[in-house]
Each structure stands twice: as structure tokens, then as C-alpha cells.
Structure 1
Amino acid sequence: MSTVGFIGLGNMGGHMARNLMRAGHSLVVYDANPKTVQQFKSEGATAASSPADVGAAAKEIVTMLPSSPHVREVYGGKKGLLETLKEGSLCLDSSTIDQSASIEVAKAVAERKSIYLDAPVSGGVLGAQNATLTFMVGGAGGKPELLTRAKVLLDKMGKNVVCCGSVGSGQAAKICNNMLLAIEMIGTAETMNLGLKMGLDPKKLASIINTSSGRCWSSDTYNPCPGVIEGIPPSKGYEGGFGSALMAKDLSLAQNAATTLGAPTPLGSLSHQIYRLLAQHPDFQSKDFGVVFKFLSDSKQ
């Protein structure tokens, strides 16, 4: 099995990296948090002190980072990947960033005679943990050999790999998906709150919704009402999971694209406003995005 570099070992990236290790790959890892790197070292990975060290050690590299500035810094900053990237390397960026950033980084990687594919994911922390993620891949359109090479790694971290087209198309698909996810989550949170105030048992209400036309991922897999589904962040104090601040960031990307392209997204805009409030609230900003349920339940009409 090949040695794989992995940069970004947070709530999502940590599980993804461990799935590669379980599949037999040797990992060289880097994260901004030294304690996280040391934890992976204790599990058998090789610790790197910078992204450049990762680029020098591996020709297949996965990055999973919070935002466009982080991606630009990891690739093009001081001691970044581009300083040491070997010719013929494959960089799979599973971060959710704006389309233009992916295109910019892809060009820089190409100048190093290597390949960059944007490969953002859907499926949440549970999907990352269980290796059931969906990867939306941009940059492999019309290049089946690139997709085949990427799938060697992606298939060990997920169950669906979709080729979306040219570089940046994976980001476009992810941004659209997350806008809809936010709308659904807020709708589910509103519905569960209303049902509780009307005297309904939350588990019974969720069961009815999930066998009726209101069913969605936020109701049947990631219900934001505590206690409805055990083992997910809403039933663990909204700890871990997909942070509200990250959802606000993704919705900002969607709204920027909508404004640039003249696409009407009224519900996306309202969702962005709500998650911006959560991202700025000291009690909610670090919590899983399902905490919108508590935000609404604590609010007065």
C-alpha cells in the first residue's frame, strides 16, 4: 500500500485519515494542532512538522481544511506543499471552499507537474466515521484515469464517488448541497419545536415525518431534537459534528455565488442570516449545526 499524506485532522479529517490507516496505508500527517498530530503518531502514523514535510514524503495527499485561506496557506504558504511537491503527485482537496480558490490552487499544483482534484464530501461526521461519505470530484472530467487513481483512496473513505466535471465543479455541487442541507435543518428544527409546543412526543412526531412526505436527512438521520436519535451530536449536547460557524461559511460561499450569477436564493439567504447569528453567539458558535433547534426553542416569538 502507498504512503498517503493527510493534512487536516479535525472532526471529519480525523475519521477519514483513520479509515485510510485501517485499509493498510501508511500515513504522514500534519495538523495545526500538535496534540492531534501526536495522537495520530501514537496510533502508528508518521508526524510531519509542516505541509512541506508531507509533500516531501508522499505522492498521494489528502487535505481537509476549514476554509479557502487555510487551503491557500497549506498549499502556497511558507513551508507549504508546493515547496516540496513531487512531480506526478495527486492532491485530493476535500475542503469546502469557493470555486475560484480551487481553480487557483489547481493551476499552482499543475505548475509543479502534479494533479489537484477538488473532492468535497457529504455525509457528516457519521459518514466520515463509517466510511460512507459521498465525494464530489472536480477536475477529472473526461479523464477516467485520474478518477481511477483517486478512487483508490476515496473508496476507502466513502461509498459514493461522483465525477462532477472540471476543476471547481465538485465545490459547486457541495455548496449547492449544503445550502439545501441548512434549509432542511432549519425546517426540521422549526417543525420539531412547534410539535413539542403543541404537546407531541418528539420521537413519535419524527416517526410520522419519516414515513410521510416531510422526510429528509435532517429528520431521519440527523434529527436536531435531543433524544430523538441516539449517538449523534444533538443527543450529546451538540458536541462534535459539523460546526455552526462552518455552516455559516458554506452558506456565505453559496450566497456569494448566487449574487455573482444572479441566481435567486431567498431561503438560502435567510438560512445564511440564521447561521451567521449562531456563528456569532458564544453559546452556539462551536456547537454542531443542529443546535439551531436550541437556538429556536430559546427564542421568543
Structure 2
Amino acid sequence: MAAAVTVTPHGTRQKGTSVKICWIGLGNMGLPMAAHLHTAGHDVVGVDLSADARDAAGAAGVRTADAAVTAAAGADAVVTMLPKGAHVRTALLESGALDAAGDNALVLDCSTISCAEAREIGAAVAATGRRFLDAPVSGGTAGAQNATLTFMVGGATADLGAARPLLEAMGTRIFHAGETGAGQSAKMVNNMMLAMNMQSTCEAAVLAERLGITPQTVIDIAGVSTGDSWALRNYYPVAGPVTSAPSNRDFTGGFSVALMRKDLGLALDAAAVHGVDTAATAEVARRLENLIADGRGSLDFSSLIHLVDGTAAAAIGGTR
């Protein structure tokens, strides 16, 4: 039975408590999150396979190590922010990092993986006497940079209590979704809705433009009407009105097409097991695959608009 959902407001981080944190995964999301923990006074040691990512971490004041096992030595907490469940498993269980961490270390996985993988990894962590929470996030790169992320957490209430000072340094909302794996389930459902909201926003944006309605007018009207969504207000897929949106950076530096397609795959797999008709999710997943086939997998997923406006029509045989 899932626990009742609760939310903790931002700003209640305990003062004067510093812990050693091994941070694994210094990408677009991981690096700013790790940097916030460093700024909050924690001893953060980051790890990433990319030399560029390690250099960027150093420039942000986060010291790095060449190997996870080195970074995790004696750590009070180990945090992973990685693309796939297999990466999390390797980073924690096969690298030696988990065994190197403190005997009562708290392991936080902020990646987006399947709930089954979260439960499997959580059980392996618990078998060593350490604690585990799956804590995927929502808010995108802007939320990571501004420490306004939302955390969806699965695991024991007591372990979440221990993790709150760390989570509050990186986000503004913390939801306890239930037992281990529940955080991933909540994130999966959220991303399903985000993907479909983005597809509808892209279609509306292109149609509005061709009808002579400006992007700002669409946002102003739909933003206070029944067409409102986070995608509309924060990620509008046409350059101009939302300065922080990836559309103003040629769709770079956001939540990639490839990662969103991976997340929708998790949702589709879960839906198949539970007998849920997810036709709309499947269609958006197909469109993301078309973008990947067109060489656009590293772009932000709001580049779905390229299929709507015909820019990437070759990837779908000229149909839209």
C-alpha cells in the first residue's frame, strides 16, 4: 500500500550539518544539483566518465575523482544521476562504490529508471546494511540550476527524513510517493503527461503561427484558460517568448529526445503489464523515434515541433 502523499516546503534545511557525498553523474542535471550541495556546505566528490563533465564540475567548485570507488570512500551519502538503470546498477554494485561508502550510508538514486529496477537495486543496497531511496526529479535543467526541483521519493519514511536536508538544498518540493519504487512510478506517470502535453503544444504552436496568432498571444490566452500546461508556460517550442526554453538555444541543453523516448518506453512496458491502453503515449514515442532516426536524438524533446512543422518530415516519410 502506497503511503499518503506529503509535501515539504523549501527552506527548512538544517544548518551547520555537513556530510560527505559521493555524486555519480555530472551531466546537465547532475552537475548543478551537486553544485548546490557543495554551496550548502557539504563535502561533495563527483564522478563522471566524461572529462568535459569533470572539468565543468571543477569550474563549479566541485572536486572530482577518477573512479566511483575512490569518491565513495567513507561517504555518508551516495547519489546517482544517470541515464539508465543498468548504469545505476554498474555505478553502485559493480564499481565497488557501495562497499566503499560508510556502513550506514544513504544511497539516493535521482535517475529515472523502472520501478522494478529501483526495487532490485534497493534490495541489493539494503542487503549491505545501507539505506536506499529512489528520488527522481521533475523541473528540467532550469529546475536543477535554480534549485527548484520537485522530488518524488520512494522508500522508508525514516530514510526520507535523513535525506531531507540534502533534497532541500536542491529543490522546493519533496513528495513521499510510497515504498521503494514508488518514486519512479510517479515520475513515469508525470513524464507520460509531459510528453503528450508537449506534443499538443507543438501542434497548437504551429497551427497558431500559420493562422497569424503570435506565440506570446497563445501563451497569454491558453496560460489562463483550459489549454494551460507546464509545457506551454515554461517550454514553449517557438523561440522568443520564453527565454529559458530550449527553443531559444536551438533545442540544445535540455531534456533529450533519446531520454524522453527511454522514459516513455518504461511507461509503455508498465502499461502493458497492467493492461492499460496507452495509444497516445505510444504515438508520441513513435514520433520521438522518428526524431532519433533523423539524427536529432540529442536535442531537447520539445524539438517534436520539427515533425509538426515539416522540418524533419523526411524522417516520417512526409506525413505529419
Residue 42 of structure 1 and its aligned partner are, at CA, apart by: 4.2
2:55 pairs with one of 27, 33, 38: 38
Opposite residue 223 of structure 1, the aligned amino acid is Y
Instruction: Please tell me whether residue 26 in structure 1 is matched to residue 39 in structure 2.
Output: no
Q: Does 1:91 align with 2:107?
A: yes
Distance 1:63 1:23 in 2: 18
Counterpart in the other structure of 2:238: 225
Cα deviation, 1:270-295, whole Å, max 9, x if unaligned, reads 1111112223321x211011111123
Q: Which residue of 2 aligns with 1:192?
A: 205
Q: Unaligned stretches of 5+ in structure 2?
A: 1-17
Letter of the structure 1 residue corresponding to residue 306 of structure 2: K
Please name the residue that 2:10 is paired with: none
User: Which position in structure 2 is the counterpart of 1:235?
Assistant: 248
Q: Residue deviations 1:175-210, cap 9 Å, x none? A: 000000000000000000111111221221221111
> Which secondary structure state, in structure 1, belongs to the residue aligned with residue 73 of structure 2?
helix
Contact 1:85 1:112 in 2 (8 A): no
Structure 1 equivalent of residue 306 of structure 2: 294
RMSD: 1.3
> Shift of residue 171 of structure 1?
0.3
Report the count of equivalent residues: 296
TM-score normalised by structure 2 residue count = 0.89
Q: How is 1:176-191 mapped onto 2 (pairs within 5 angstroms)?
A: 176-191=189-204
Percent identity (aligned): 38
Residue of 136, 141, 163 corresponding to 1:150: 163
Find the counterpart in structure 2 of residue 100 from structure 1: 116
SS in 1 for 2:72: helix
**1:123-272 → structure 2 map (5 Å cutoff):** 123-140=139-156, 143=157, 145-272=158-285
Q: 2 CA distance for matches of 1:28 and 1:38?
A: 13
- Structure 1, gaps ≥5 residues long: none
CA distance in 2, matches of 1:199, 1:72: 51
> Mean Cα displacement is larger for which, 173-182 or 97-106?
97-106
The TM-score with structure 1 as length reference comes to 0.95
Q: Aligned match of 1:10 in 27, 42, 47? A: 27
**CA displacement at 1:87 relative to structure 2:** 1.1
Does structure 2 retain, via aligned residues, the 8 Å contact 1:93–1:120? Answer: yes
Query: Quick check: 2:78–2:101 contact (8 Å CA) kept in 1?
Result: no
Q: Does the CA contact (< 8 Å) of 1:28 and 1:57 recur in 2?
A: no
Q: Matches of 2:260 and 2:118 in 1, distance apart? A: 19
The answer to whether 1:73 aligns with 2:86 is no
Is residue 256–residue 297 contact of structure 2 (8 Å, CA) maintained in 1? Answer: yes
